[in-house]
Amino acid sequence: MIEHAVTTLVGQLVFGLALGYEDLNDHDELRHDPIMAVLAGKLEARRSDCPPVAGKSTLNRLELSRPQASRYHKISHDPQAV
């Protein structure tokens, strides 16, 4: 059940920083903003109970991610690609 792609999450973080939202707590409000959804490239959510873009908890998991997914770190990334 993957709701957000890593590219969408990274894009959301970058656009948030560019707009002056340095704190992840701001993303709980921004996740309901249609402009942020357009910028992140995700206009519709896959689930009906979820806004299109990620909130602070999901973005925090991305920031704490490791190259290999584990039981507690489910979001992984490719350091070479980043």
* pLDDT at residue 65, as a whole number: 75
Which comes out higher in pLDDT, residue 74 or 6? 6
pLDDT digits (tens, 9 = 90+) for 31-79: 888 888 888 888 887 778 788 888 888 888 888 777 777 776 666 767 7
Instruction: Provide the whole-model pTM.
Output: 0.71
CA–CA distance, 80 with 61 (Å, rounded to integer)? 19
* pLDDT at residue 18, as a whole number: 92
Domain ranges of the chain: 6-63
Phi and psi for 36 in degrees, rounded to 5? -65, -35
pLDDT digits (tens, 9 = 90+) for 22-31: 888 888 888 8
